[in-house]
Amino acid sequence: MQSISKFGKNPFIWLVELGDSFRIFTFAIYYILRGKFPKKEFIEQASRLGFDTLPVVAVVTFFIGLALTLQISKQLMGVGNTSTLGTSVAVSIVREIGPVIAGVMIAARVGGAMAAEIATMSVTEQIDALKIMKIDPISFLVAPRILASMIMAPLLTVYAIYIGSLGGMLIAIIYVQLDPYMFFDSFRSVVGDRDILIALAKALVNGSLVATFSCAFGMQTSGGAAGVGQTTTKAVVWAMLCIFLFNFLITNAVYSVGKVLDPSFIK
């Protein structure tokens, strides 16, 4: 009831929080471009975002590739057109599933931990101590995390696409008895450089969203251990919501522009 009454008194508090998150992101990009961030912290965060997240991304995308290809193959077998199985799987995994799943896994695996870490520093007044020592928390804490997310998210997306494609090929071989060369030939026929660039752009946005919300909400935390828990949940939820929202916005923008510049793009 307390949270409901608080929301009723401040119905647009979420706009303030989003605005502050954007401000922190802007300052972080400024420090990144000027190289004013701890390089050691960047390497540590990149390792945590990359190597520590690989197993989770691999397992999730592999089974999604299995399930997706199995569902598509059943439909194509019904119409006797299994030769286009690779095309259908490629469109789904490369353009949508790969970037989204990688972003969601980063938010779940690393974003929550990142938010909890900075939130704990906030409630224990470590961030205030940095300010007393004339150290900007955005430069010291936020910038290396955002840069690590922006670099590792596209790499994890490429990895997710690769593993998901292997899962799809496995179903195509075992369940459909489709030749692997035929599967990947149809896969390559529909996936071009433009699709890879779109997937990488989505991954870049997803990585930025996860790190920005985790750091911004963490720095706004108060209320002790309860506040840390609330911040962790809020950061993960907002990150996932915005990942799906921006995935739709980018897809819609790409198809809208492609339809005007190149009508064959939507075919």
pLDDT tens figures, 49-105: 888 888 888 899 999 988 888 888 777 766 666 666 777 788 888 888 889 988 998
The angle subtended at Cα 118 by Cα 117 and Cα 124, nearest 5°, is 95
Instruction: Pick the closest to residue 57 from 97, 114, 115, 113 (CA basis).
Output: 97
Number of H helices, E strands in the chain: 13, 0
The residue to which tokens 């004339």 are assigned: 134
Rounded CA-CA distance 57/160 in Å is 6
pLDDT tens figures, 211-257: 999 999 988 888 777 888 888 888 999 999 999 999 999 888 887 77
| DSSP secondary structure letters along 149-185 | HHHHHHHHHHHHHHHHHHHHHHHHHHTS---HHHHHH
pTM, to two decimals: 0.84
Element (H, E) at 61: helix 54-79
Chain centre distance of CA 20? 21
Give the pLDDT score at 200.
Answer: 92
Rounded CA-CA distance 18/164 in Å is 33
pLDDT tens figures, 140-168: 999 999 999 999 999 999 999 889 888 88
Rounded CA-CA distance 236/213 in Å is 8
